[in-house]
Amino acid sequence: MHDASARPFRPCSGDRGFTLIELLVVISIIALLIALLLPAIRGAKDIARQVTCLSNERQMGQVLQAYVGEADGFFPLVEDNNGPIPGANSDVEDPWSVIGLSLPLVNDNIEMYQCPTALTFGIPTEYLGRKVTPYMHNGVLMHVFPTLMSSVPNLPATVLVHEYGHMTVRSYLRPWYTNGEYRLDYETWVRGFSYHSGGSNFLFGDGHAELVHFDDVRTGMWGLTPADETLPESIGQGYDRSF
């Protein structure tokens, strides 16, 4: 009769460790999952930054509305520095720049004027410690000539704020008025269209902000005439105000 107690002991299969091949398979699967998830995580971060930028611009719209309400219906008017293009290239810190005029209304909250995506490009060394922004205001409405908000014929489709190509100490006005005409010359700020999925955030006159893609931008959005020209067509061109 066979004695079962004499059989050699074998560990049960549940106690068996991973083989090297199994470990490599698991590591490969984890690496694949990470590779699949990273673009989604980056995309979610980009969307969050874009939403923050849109929120910033809507707040800028509220500030401009408050300014207009206190200024008898007029937009801020910038013409008070001694540069070659008065006021159009003022510093953020200058009290006569559009942002300089607006900061007292928001308790000097410069963060509202900083796009988080632009910040990822970094602040130029020479600007460290100073107030910086990537946002520009519409010079057709706010440069040299006083403009009543009520005089703008298609305010919901007229740009108030748009984005520059990087962080800067300037409170730029674009287009600006020089030698009897308005000029866009977008080539100095076109990188702003790489911020948000090939587009740039624009604030419009009725207070709404939206992403606008490069190919959809037309000169008429700033209140210029001719109104249907693209940004590349605007290089070196002068325009008249359409109202």
Q: Which residues of 84-106 are buried (b: 16+ CB within 10 A; e: fewer)?
A: ebbbbbbbbebebbbbbbbbeeb
Computed on alpha carbons and rounded to an integer, the radius of gyration of the chain in Å comes to: 28
The DSSP secondary-structure symbol of 187 reads G
The structure's pTM equals 0.81
- CB count in 10 Å sphere of residue 235: 11
CA distances from 33 to 29, 30, 36 (A): 6, 5, 5
Measure the N-to-C terminal CA separation of the chain; round to a whole number of Å: 112
Question: What's the rounded Cα separation, in Å, for the pair 98 and 103?
Answer: 9
Question: What's the rounded Cα separation, in Å, for the pair 3 and 14?
Answer: 26
pLDDT in tens, 170-190: 999 999 999 899 998 777 677
> What element of type H or E holds 21?
helix 20-70
DSSP structure string for 64-129 = HHHHHHHTTTBPP-B--S-SSSTTTT-BTTSTTSHHHHHGGGGTT-GGGG--HHHHHT---GGGTT
**The predicted structure's pLDDT at residue 41:** 63
pLDDT one digit per residue (tens) for the chain, 243 residues:
555 555 555 555 555 666 878 777 888 788 777 777 667 666 677 788 889 999 999 999 999 999 999 999 999 998 776 666 778 999 999 998 999 999 999 999 999 999 998 887 888 888 988 999 999 999 999 998 999 999 999 999 999 999 987 889 999 999 999 989 999 877 767 766 767 877 889 999 999 999 999 889 999 999 999 999 998 899 889 999 999
Question: What's the rounded Cα separation, in Å, for the pair 211 and 161?
Answer: 12
Question: What's the rounded Cα separation, in Å, for the pair 141 and 161?
Answer: 11
What are the backbone angles phi and psi of residue 122, rounded to the nearest 5°?
A: 90, 160
